[in-house]
Structure 1
Amino acid sequence: MPSIDIRRPHRLSSTEAHAVIDHVAARMREKFQVATQWQSDSTLTFQRSGISGKIAIAADEVRVSAELGMLFSPLKGMIEQEIRRKLDEHFS
């Protein structure tokens, strides 16, 4: 299975970063019908048929990792580009 692993540095407080990820998760649920759940104060998991992953918040970095199933494999480049764009938008 193809995977995605993207890291972005940030300078937000833990509370601010958590709020940004909450906002991103709401958009993911709305746009892609993914289920999201906080596993801890710093890790949000997401899943739907054909994709699963997590968004982890560290003190100075956000990391998005995902595994794509066969359905989403051809879209890997487009998905990565969109993730990078959103991270740049919220964490630059």
Structure 2
Amino acid sequence: MSDILIRRKHQLGLARAREIAWKWAEDAEEQFEMECTVEEGDDCDVVHFERSGVKGTLQVEADHFELTARLGLLLGAFKQKIQAEIENNLDTLLAEEATRAAKGAAPAKKAATKKATAKKAPGKTPK
């Protein structure tokens, strides 16, 4: 068995870090067929994820993320590639958030909601 440990500091606060973690979990479910569940807490959340050959958690705190995963025997041979992909996914989400914050833009989730609402409004054509 191989273990992966990834830790990323941030300055998002718990509410925004939680949204980033949920996005990460949605991506993991879609791209890697992971089964994800979220345990919400007052001071931190824990995203549990698993599929055949992989089991782990993403701990979400106001100032950092900590991902731990255990790879089974077969996937252990691909540890470096899997770890690099997880790091890339998490780093990309954090970079997107930093870019949004620098531009003062609304989070993508809220923008997407507004766009979806515009599509549903009768008599209006979305652009």
Of the two, which has the highest radius of gyration? 2
Give the Å deviation of 1:24.
Answer: 1.0
Q: Which runs of 5 or more residues in structure 1 are unaligned?
A: none
CA RMSD of aligned residues (A): 1.2
Q: For residue 7 of structure 1, what is the amino acid of its counterpart?
A: R
Q: TM-score by structure 1 length? A: 0.92
- Which contiguous aligned blocks of 4+ residues in structure 1 show a shift greater than 6 angstroms? none
Q: Which has the higher contact order (CA 8 A, sep 6+)?
A: 1
Tell me what 1:22 maps to.
22
Percent pairwise identity: 30
Paired positions, count: 92
Tell me what 1:34 maps to.
34
Give the Å deviation of 1:91.
Answer: 2.5
Counterpart contact for 1:51–1:66, Cα < 8 Å: yes
Tell me what 1:2 maps to.
2
Looking at structure 2, the residues matched to 87 and 28 of structure 1 have their Cα atoms a distance apart, in angstroms, of 11
Q: For residue 18 of structure 2, what is the amino acid of its counterpart?
A: H
Q: Which runs of 5 or more residues in structure 2 are unaligned?
A: 96-127
Tell me what 1:76 maps to.
79
Looking at structure 2, the residues matched to 31 and 86 of structure 1 have their Cα atoms a distance apart, in angstroms, of 11
Looking at structure 2, the residues matched to 87 and 46 of structure 1 have their Cα atoms a distance apart, in angstroms, of 15
Looking at structure 2, the residues matched to 16 and 39 of structure 1 have their Cα atoms a distance apart, in angstroms, of 16
Tell me what 1:66 maps to.
69
